[in-house]
Structure 1
Amino acid sequence: MSSSINLEEDKYNLIFPEVLANPYPTYRRILLEEPVYWSDFLGGWYLMRYQDVAAAMQDKRMSAKRPPISKLPELEQQNIFPLLETLSKWMLFCDPPEHTRLRGLFNKAFTPSIISSMAEKIQALVDELIDGVYERGNIDILHDLAYPMPAIVIAQMLGANDEDREQFKKWSSDLARFFGMFRMNTEILTSAKNSILEMKEYFRIILEERRCQPQDDLISNLIFAQEKENSLDDEEIISNCVFLTFAGHETTTNLIANGLLALLENPSQMQLLKDKPSLITTAVEEFLRYDSPVQRQARIAVTDLEIGGKKISQGQRVFLVIGAANRDPEQFLNPDKLDITRPENPHLAFGKGTHFCLGASLGRLEAQISIKTVIKRLGSLRLNTNQIEWHENPSLRGMKSMPVAFNP
């Protein structure tokens, strides 16, 4: 955070550390007072109601093709041009028909049959990671399980070396800080640029290797599609492999950790899941609603429009606050209550419409197996800290660490 930032400029204090640690009371206040509001400080419109967020996710007047950060001086834009150029090729920042073409090719790696076939491998990996800490009677859920497991899985899918996961973590953390940045910070911008260039070089080497010697991985399949249909260029393959590496584990890591924290803070729900492990499917959906790893998405208005009586001008940024929408009392009964048996749960944690999360089924499976196994294998699970530290990131919600103790 730049030292020149005046936090008092933020009407609702959305980027105060104490609000980032627990944004939900503030979300509710905004939802009641001003569910569609303009923030000069944060540079855009904020949508808080479920119906507004869900509609905006599917509104063709809202473009996903937006710069990931606004109000950058010309010199800084030039400095991070390689970063912005790469991000512009991510399917996350594309609209149809470009998005449709990319999504169709990458979808082939996430079919239901492929994902379900991975369950046994994911279970073995979770057990192996727990075995590594079991005798000591304590585990950092994030560092010992929730980070390495999805990082290894996505690395194997792409054809990367899972032993490089610590490098993936550094790259991913640099990008996460960039996506959570609300004011210019040269150090964060430079780190993100350097990391994305290193990631691209890493996947460029794999791409050349697979072109000579194809294997059973996503990059090899994308090369095959490229040669057969002439539908992808190397930059698109490499840039979206970077995207999948980042998105494929950053959000799942936080889903697993946030879900386990929610259970520890709600012992009756923890006991219910212990007694009825089959509830894990609805439980994970509730974790996604209750404390979503992705708190907001952004769009750009491509034309003048009106939402909730407010006039939004062409070119203005619109933030879709998923965390607020998922606790909207107009949509969810007792929205601030964790209920792992919640029968109807149309949460927006994975988005909606054409940009619905590509890896949703994989993330669900990884979270179900991880959380179910932790509860089954680690007895008397309890937090081993008096103070949880959260990343100061308004977009990606996650803890810095989550130490817990258990009875072996």
Structure 2
Amino acid sequence: MSSSSNREKDRYNLTTPEVLANPYPTYRRILLENPVYWSDFFGGWYLMRYKDVAAAMQDKRISAKRPPVSKLPELEQQKILPLLETLSKWILFSDPPEHTRLRTLFNKAFTPSIIDSMTERIQTLVDELIDGVYDLGQIDIIHDLAYPIPAIVIAQMLGAKPSDREQFKKWSDDLARFFGMFRMKPEILTSAQQSIIEMTEYFRCILEERRHTPQDDLISRLIFAQEKENSLDDDELLSNCVFLTFAGHETTTNLIANGLLALLKNPHQMQKLKDDPSLITTTIEEFLRYDSPVQRQARIAVTDLEIDGKQISQGQRLFLMIGAANRDPEQFSDPDKLDITRPENPHLAFGKGTHFCLGAALGRLEAQIAINTIVRRFNNLRLDTDQIEWHENPSLRGMKSMPVAFNP
């Protein structure tokens, strides 16, 4: 089937560069016209309204334990079995009781006291990264700041070397392309599989080292829990180290960059934050609502059910459109306006219910420190280009680069 034929079946053109650059007018149109609709192109039901998305996130008839790819011939699935087997062990693709068991173990890395203890370390890292480019009067926010911050932090938590972050970025990019794939391209499947194999082996080496020489990091704590409780096997441990590495920086990178872009396009809001840095808490929540790093989550119906009069059959996919729900005028007043002082902000960027984001507190802290430091240290910050290029990914919303200039 030709690319043009594929696009014709995507009735709302959600995969065109124009819509990927700014999907929100299209989301609003769908929300008004057809808030629960079947897409042949994506092979699933789209839920656009806040109330439907929030309910689906907590509905036991709707499962997170879904195949990461659909419409893939059996022969092609056989070629990527190592990839599919690793993903099947991710906490992201599990339901209780497996999810409860895994989450209980991994929650130990994200307690409030552990997150609070990282504040000084993250602030030092942000300042060092800015110091490295400050005299130049220009910076690529993504490459020089928004990517390294969470990548270094999660690497240290898992016992990896911060100096390996470029390799992690390559692996992560391959997985992001896989999760954003809307046409089955063999080269994307092959690259994702190779990267996940390499990441698993990377952490396997760390696992063996920590078994002999434990340190104060997450992987050592997981080994201790594994040996004490016998509730986590090596494959599960390694698979979820890969997951945390990918999820732990991909979304935070985009939260920081997308949020800063929103401030640059709303200079009065930038000035408000500059005048009152204590607004950073509500600022980050508004970034998460206004331009969520995760635009949609996939689920699967485990039984027949009905949503808004539409009959969803067992085994069918549902796409929970977080980006649309977070701009639903029935839930948020003036939803297309960036308001960093918005008092009530029950956005769904981190999910809801059982699968609420494991690293939400860490992502918030990293973004708060990064954004406040950027606003404080960079004078006359401005975009250094008229054209922003977005990744071709309807699930993970992020820019390929973000060059900005400032007065040192």
CA distance in 2 between partners of 1:220 and 1:195 (Å): 24
The 5 Å alignment of 1:313-352 reads 313-352=313-352
User: Which residue of structure 1 lines up, in the alignment, with residue 89 of structure 2?
Assistant: 89
Question: Could you say what the CA RMSD is over the residues aligned between the two structures, in angstroms?
Answer: 1.0
Instruction: Answer yes or no: is 1:57 the counterpart of 2:57.
Output: yes
CA distance in 2 between partners of 1:172 and 1:2 (Å): 29
Task: Kindly state the Cα deviation for residue 4 of structure 1 after the two structures are TM-superposed.
Answer: 7.4
TM score, norm. by length of structure 2: 0.99
User: Which residue of structure 1 lines up, in the alignment, with residue 284 of structure 2?
Assistant: 284
Kindly provide the amino acid, as one letter, of the partner of residue 194 in structure 2.
Answer: N
User: Which residue of structure 2 lines up, in the alignment, with residue 27 of structure 1?
Assistant: 27
CA distance in 2 between partners of 1:354 and 1:37 (Å): 25
Instruction: Answer yes or no: is 1:177 the counterpart of 2:177.
Output: yes
Instruction: Answer yes or no: is 1:395 the counterpart of 2:392.
Output: no
CA distance in 1 between partners of 2:168 and 2:2 (Å): 26
Kindly provide the amino acid, as one letter, of the partner of residue 69 in structure 2.
Answer: I
Residue deviations 1:142-188, cap 9 Å, x none?
A: 00000011100000001111110000000000000000001210000
Task: Kindly state the Cα deviation for residue 21 of structure 1 after the two structures are TM-superposed.
Answer: 0.7
Kindly provide the amino acid, as one letter, of the partner of residue 332 in structure 1.
Answer: F
User: Which residue of structure 2 lines up, in the alignment, with residue 307 of structure 1?
Assistant: 307
User: Which residue of structure 2 lines up, in the alignment, with residue 219 of structure 1?
Assistant: 219
The 5 Å alignment of 1:6-405 reads 6-405=6-405
User: Mean alpha-carbon deviation: is it higher for 237-246 or for 10-19?
Assistant: 10-19
Residue deviations 1:11-44, cap 9 Å, x none?
A: 1111111101100000000000000000011100
Residue deviations 1:201-229, cap 9 Å, x none?
A: 00000001101111111111111011101
Kindly provide the amino acid, as one letter, of the partner of residue 383 in structure 1.
Answer: L
Verify the 8 A CA contact 1:139 1:405 in the aligned structure 2: yes
SS at match of 2:314: coil
TM score, norm. by length of structure 1: 0.99
Task: Kindly state the Cα deviation for residue 68 of structure 1 after the two structures are TM-superposed.
Answer: 1.1
Verify the 8 A CA contact 1:2 1:185 in the aligned structure 2: no
CA distance in 2 between partners of 1:351 and 1:93 (Å): 14
SS at match of 2:394: coil
Residue deviations 1:309-332, cap 9 Å, x none?
A: 100000000000000000000000
SS at match of 1:6: helix
Verify the 8 A CA contact 1:258 1:287 in the aligned structure 2: yes
CA distance in 2 between partners of 1:361 and 1:97 (Å): 24
Task: Kindly state the Cα deviation for residue 2 of structure 1 after the two structures are TM-superposed.
Answer: 7.8
Kindly provide the amino acid, as one letter, of the partner of residue 194 in structure 1.
Answer: Q
Task: Kindly state the Cα deviation for residue 3 of structure 1 after the two structures are TM-superposed.
Answer: 4.8
Moved over 2 A (4+): 1-6
CA distance in 2 between partners of 1:287 and 1:324 (Å): 14
Identity of aligned residues (%): 84
Kindly provide the amino acid, as one letter, of the partner of residue 161 in structure 2.
Answer: N
Verify the 8 A CA contact 1:2 1:184 in the aligned structure 2: no
Task: Kindly state the Cα deviation for residue 363 of structure 1 after the two structures are TM-superposed.
Answer: 0.1
Task: Kindly state the Cα deviation for residue 5 of structure 1 after the two structures are TM-superposed.
Answer: 5.5
